[in-house]
Amino acid sequence: MKRLFLLITLLSFPLSAFAAGGELDWRTFGWRVAMFIVFAALLYLLTAKRIKAMLIKRTEDIKAALAEAELAKQEAVEKVKQYEEKMKQLEKELEEMKVNAKKVAETERANMIADAKKHVEQMKQFAINMIESETERAIQDLHREAVELAASQAEQKLVKEISGSTAAKILDEYVKRIGE
């Protein structure tokens, strides 16, 4: 405050000389300085408390803002830590999900392979059954054809060797047996 007063006093000399047209009237200079000092003292007395209160309030506001900023900084640091923890936890969960997905995929793959093996085995069994059934039918067809061929050849041989009345008698007996 003293520096401000000294600065104003020192600046008043050239300003008053400049305002007077470049000449300094030494007769009224003392009067002007005295009036300025009275004005400055009145200004100081009337506004000093208000300015001091304003500066104190401003200082308190700045301190409060700094405290609030520090609190906000701490909260931000805390939130960053929380988010980092969440990210780590999410990464762990993601890793667990990957491992579980691999396990499920391996299990599914094993199940699919087992199902495919069962299906192949069923198809083999079906093919074997089909082959056996076709073989059985072929054997039956061969038996039937062999019997028919044997019967045909026996009939031809009998026709050549047996006379007409004997053949008719044998044929009638055979027809009776078949009819039963």
**How confident is the model at residue 2, as a pLDDT?**
78
**How confident is the model at residue 149, as a pLDDT?**
81
pLDDT band for 105, please (50, 70, 90 cuts): very high
Contacts made by residues 105-108, CB under 8 angstroms, sequence distance 24+: none
DSSP string for residues in 53-81: HHHHHHHHHHHHHHHHHHHHHHHHHHHHH
pLDDT digits (tens, 9 = 90+) for 121-145: 999 999 999 999 999 999 998 888 8
**How confident is the model at residue 111, as a pLDDT?**
94
**Cβ atoms 40, 8 nearer than 8 A:** yes
Domains of the chain by residue range: 2-179
**How confident is the model at residue 163, as a pLDDT?**
66
Q: DSSP E strands: which ranges in the chain?
A: none
Gap between the Cα atoms of 65 and 76, Å rounded: 16
pLDDT band for 151, please (50, 70, 90 cuts): confident
| Entry pTM | 0.39
Residue 157 tokens read as 């041989």
Gap between the Cα atoms of 51 and 31, Å rounded: 28
**Which residue reads 């054809």 in tokens?**
145
Gap between the Cα atoms of 107 and 81, Å rounded: 39
pLDDT digits (tens, 9 = 90+) for 1-50: 777 887 787 777 666 666 655 566 677 778 888 899 999 999 888 888 88
Per the document, the length of the chain is: 180
Residue 90 tokens read as 């999410």
Q: Is 24 left (phi over 0), alpha (psi -120 to 50) or beta?
A: beta
Gap between the Cα atoms of 43 and 36, Å rounded: 10
**How confident is the model at residue 153, as a pLDDT?**
80
Taking the alpha carbons at both ends of the chain, their separation in whole angstroms is: 149
pLDDT digits (tens, 9 = 90+) for 63-91: 999 999 999 999 999 999 999 999 999 99
Gap between the Cα atoms of 7 and 101, Å rounded: 81
